[in-house]
Structure 1
């Protein structure tokens, strides 16, 4: 008995659509052309041009997105035109996994052209694909795998119009279904873009607050003051609010310190454990201590510990004295002005060897305030950080959803 052929359909589908999808070669519907090459003296003025970076970083482009300009003759404009509905692929890259990134041109002027590092894909007759559907179908996992398989690599990865013409695209025959898919993913992309902007704004807000809530060496008081209570500030030294913890340990939980994650258990990292089996010289860390990488403090590699454990002898551990809020100082020390001070005070001939131990750190001047104000400033900055983390988690959930839809809505 003959085996019934499998239906050519995606796993997830809009209601009302049941027909098999088409499976055709690009060369049946499209022509392929490389763009223009001109000397650098022709760029910076003239007509709009679709550049390699435009296509590499975006899946769709509009005229307002094109920042490049090039001076051309009318014949060059005609021979290298870029029109609404044209699809572009990057034709070269350093690595095979970045070859052939696509972008659809959603709007263009009559004199828009495209770069020689791109391949233009233009319908020969009627285009079988909806514009928004075309925006995504060539960035699916299946098509990307075929792109990498059929491209060549010597010193650089390379694809061509000939390669593209033999590649397979899978699409529903009904434009309405294509449009439904394209519209859904476009709305999701718009939401992702808004979420990115929100994250950028929160990042900028946090940086601004860190600069304005702390005094620098040119200010007697911070630019932004916490209301209610004593707001007095005074000169001090780091050695007057912290002492160095020199307790040694060997069997406690191994901790690490990074710029992005602060202090965390080493077994939660993906790094290989290169620490010595003999840890008798490792330093103890207690909750509310600040541990920092002595060679990377100037880059912000520090954090308040929520754990008890040990760190490498290459790290320095700061023990807060009475009536001091360690989190307040963590935010202070990660302020860009303080990082510059740490950099200037680090010792070593090159940035690879710069080092700032406690015997130099303790003599660095700071401006500080009472515990009540420290607590309020720390609480405000923690709230901003928590909000940023929540919004970051939402952003990653949106990206996970997009990845799922790109896998399930297409074949």
Structure 2
């Protein structure tokens, strides 16, 4: 009688047979890569060089290696391992577990294992997915744990146990996950492109230093931006409050994280350390490390509190969404650096507030501020939606990997 463990929880229609269980080394040929040394003497720009496959050539999303950044001289071939389209390679270091399918000829160094499906037991896409499942990763970790450097070798990988169905069922599973990976890759690319668009527009929709007109702006606005002192846009507030009086702690807002008062009180062990009250649309600045982006506008909560280590400002004649976009620009870090002094270490700087308030800042009329702020708010919402969809797809993949495999 077949054991239940050889039947996955979820299957494609038409498949009912139990999966076969085998020692992995009996189903494929496994070989370790090799490196000609010193490798620097073999690197070449010649067109007849051999593709030299490094971990950096592997895509963040997807399973196919399609190009390499470097080539080696043909003379190095005898000291390395040649791979071909259709071969599967696996990292054998502590980052092991991520398999890749070769779409090009090349050579692998000793940080890779070659897995060649020469016994035709597997459909390639299925095998690639199988080797990255939790079951296989856990086996790798268990087997490598006793070694000094926790690295894999062909004996350890060959000694794992694999369960697999008929080729037709493998094809269904492999094709399904290939489509899912493509969908994940598309969303990742869209997310990256939208973030890059935001980064570009943050630079182009604000004037360069010493200028009054940005490179890109909405067509209904043509007036030059007005030069203002940064301090004229701010009204510092010092209203004290306590954990008991507020619902939300915003001290971590600069990191995009918000804690409720109960959690924060438990974490800090005190509910009365002189918190500052924060209203919606107030600007929160850190006294240290502003050049790292430690500033935010409270756009999310009607009220809250921050540690007295921060400064809180009402905005004067300045749209909150515009200020939020401005403080997130890369070039704004230079603005804050001009008013910083070195602290205890190179990476720690303290703000000279009086100097900061005197810094000139180009500002458009309120209507243009609002348009700019709304534009970047829409971009942020788009990014958040794409990131959520991407996270949902990745979670779906994890769930289906557990259900569609033994």
The Cα shift of 1:304 comes to 1.5
2:350 is equivalent to residue 348 of structure 1: no
Equivalent residue number for residue 355 of structure 2: 360
Equivalent residue number for residue 72 of structure 2: 70
The Cα shift of 1:55 comes to 5.4
2:121 paired residue among 102, 105, 128: 128
Aligned residue for 1:347, secondary structure, equals strand
Aligned residue for 1:113, secondary structure, equals strand
> What TM-score results when the alignment is normalised by the length of structure 1?
0.88
The Cα shift of 1:178 comes to 0.6
1:282 paired residue among 271, 275, 280: 275
* CA–CA distance in structure 1, aligned partners of residues 191 and 227 of structure 2: 35
Question: 1:237-316 to 2 correspondence within 5 Å?
Answer: 237-251=229-243, 252-253=245-246, 254-261=249-256, 264-266=258-260, 273-274=267-268, 276-279=270-273, 281-305=274-298, 306-316=301-311
| C-alpha contact 2:64 2:100 (8 A) present in aligned 1 | yes
The Cα shift of 1:291 comes to 0.8
The Cα shift of 1:8 comes to 1.6
The Cα shift of 1:195 comes to 1.0
The Cα shift of 1:132 comes to 0.9
| C-alpha contact 1:90 1:100 (8 A) present in aligned 2 | yes
The Cα shift of 1:357 comes to 5.5
Change (3 A) 1:265 1:344: same
2:332 is equivalent to residue 338 of structure 1: yes
Question: 1:134-173 to 2 correspondence within 5 Å?
Answer: 134-152=127-145, 156-172=149-165
The Cα shift of 1:189 comes to 0.8
After TM superposition, the structure 1 stretch with the greater mean CA deviation from structure 2, 229-238 or 333-342, is: 229-238
2:46 is equivalent to residue 50 of structure 1: no
Q: Which runs of 5+ in 1 are unaligned?
A: none
* CA–CA distance in structure 2, aligned partners of residues 237 and 69 of structure 1: 55
Change (3 A) 1:246 1:360: farther
| C-alpha contact 2:296 2:327 (8 A) present in aligned 1 | no
After TM superposition, the structure 1 stretch with the greater mean CA deviation from structure 2, 137-146 or 371-380, is: 371-380
* CA–CA distance in structure 2, aligned partners of residues 368 and 12 of structure 1: 59
Aligned residue for 1:197, secondary structure, equals helix
1:20 paired residue among 6, 11, 18: 18
Deviation track 1:238-281 (CA, whole Å, cap 9, x = no partner) reads 1111121122222433322344517x3455989982365432x3
> What TM-score results when the alignment is normalised by the length of structure 2?
0.89
* CA–CA distance in structure 2, aligned partners of residues 171 and 261 of structure 1: 44
| C-alpha contact 1:88 1:104 (8 A) present in aligned 2 | yes
Q: Which runs of 5+ in 2 are unaligned?
A: none
| C-alpha contact 1:58 1:103 (8 A) present in aligned 2 | no
The Cα shift of 1:57 comes to 5.0
* CA–CA distance in structure 1, aligned partners of residues 266 and 26 of structure 2: 51
Equivalent residue number for residue 233 of structure 1: 225
